[in-house]
Each structure stands twice: as C-alpha cells, then as structure tokens.
Amino acid sequence: MKNGICPKCSGKNILVCEASDSKKESGNADYEKLGMLGKKVYTTRYVCCECGYTERYFEDKNLEILQKRYNKA
C-alpha cells in the first residue's frame, strides 16, 4: 500500500495520514499504546478512497525499540 496501490481493490486513490509533529502536539496523531513500552507509539495510516481499506505502520525509529521488547513470531 506504500506504493500507492490498494492491495484489496487495486485502487490508486490512496491517502497518507502521517503522524506529524504538529498532530502529535495537538493529540490528533494515530498511535498504539503498547503495554510493555508504556508510551504512545505513533503510526502512519494509509487509506484507500476506493474501498476504505486502511493500513497502519509504525515509524522506523520505533521498530528498533519494538524488536528489543518483543519476541519474534
């Protein structure tokens, strides 16, 4: 979906909702609250405007932290 194509309907009308600094400050950014981290972990959301499908991604800097805290599947 990061390539601008919906994996469900192949639509190309994809919106990106990034967790910008201003959104974080105003409390309007997407996040997950992961228990072991005990803090907000921000995500970027992709939304398909054809079918409504959405995907969320953690920021790269948080992937390192998550790998240290959680076991591999």
Report the interface residues with Zn ion, using CB under 5 A: 6, 8-9, 11, 48, 50-51, 53
**Residue 8 or 39: which CB sits closer to Zn ion?**
8
In degrees, rounded to 5, the angle at the alpha carbon of residue 69 between the alpha carbons of residues 67 and 71 is 70
Residue 12 Cβ vs Zn ion, minimum distance, rounded to whole Å? 9
Are 54 and 17 contacting, i.e. CB atoms less than 8 angstroms apart?
Answer: no
Nearby residues of 71 by Cβ (< 8 Å), 6 or more positions away: none
**Residue 6 or 29: which CB sits closer to Zn ion?**
6
**Helix (H) and strand (E) counts in the chain:** 2, 4
Residue 3 Cβ vs Zn ion, minimum distance, rounded to whole Å? 13
Residue 51 Cβ vs Zn ion, minimum distance, rounded to whole Å? 3
